[in-house]
């Protein structure tokens, strides 16, 4: 199923994730999925993508500066139960964020399920940019979030899941 992921930057210091979590919680917004990474790896990916496409997004000196600054920030990707409300709240609180469509799939918690889904992506020639997910207990379903290069094609393949 296609969902909207929110990507935002937070300072990489103690307490920032707590502030964000309380902000969302106090507004009645539940976090369905979350992943956090050092923002410097995100900046590095942008720089490498620029090199492959030969499109100049920014100068090399700008990237070097961004890489230094980005170590002080974390890139947070999350799915919430009310994206519109979350986007409005984040805007009002001056967070730097972006939204993008992703594929969120509930899988049975058993060996081979990830293989089955990722094989479908591969058979259709769809590259996966990143994926994250988890399960709460051995008997519960798993929620995995996929960011495919071709969201429209992926949406048609996985519309019935």
Give 75-127 pLDDT, tens digit per residue. Answer: 899 999 999 999 999 999 989 889 999 999 999 999 999 999 999 999 999 99
What domain range is 121 assigned to?
2-157
Q: List the CATH number of the domain containing 129.
A: 3.30.2130.10
Mean pLDDT value of segment 38-45: 64
Q: What is the domain count for the chain?
A: 1
Look at residues 132, 158, 30, 128 and name the one whose alpha carbon lies nearest to residue 86.
Answer: 30
Backbone region of residue 54 per phi and psi (left: phi > 0; alpha: psi in -120 to 50; beta: other values): left
Mean pLDDT value of segment 116-142: 91
Decide: pTM greater than 0.75: yes
> Which residues are CB-neighbours of 60 under 8 A, at least 6 positions away?
none
């Amino acid at each position: 199923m296609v969902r909207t992921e929110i990507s935002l930057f937070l300072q990489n210091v103690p307490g920032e994730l707590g502030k964000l979590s309380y902000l969302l919680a106090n507004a009645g917004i539940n976090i369905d999925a979350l992943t956090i990474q050092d923002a410097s790896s995100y900046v590095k990916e942008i720089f490498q993508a620029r090199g492959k496409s030969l499109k100049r997004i920014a100068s090399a000196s700008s990237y070097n500066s961004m890489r230094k600054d980005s170590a002080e920030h974390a890139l947070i990707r999350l799915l919430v139960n009310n994206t519109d409300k979350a986007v409005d709240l984040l805007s009002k609180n001056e967070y730097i964020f972006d939204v993008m469509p992703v594929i969120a799939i509930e899988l049975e918690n058993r060996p081979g399920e990830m293989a089955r889904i990722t094989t479908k992506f591969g058979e259709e020639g769809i590259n996966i940019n990143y994926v994250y997910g988890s399960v709460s207990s051995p008997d519960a379903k798993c929620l995995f979030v996929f960011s495919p290069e071709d969201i429209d094609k992926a949406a048609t393949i996985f519309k019935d899941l």
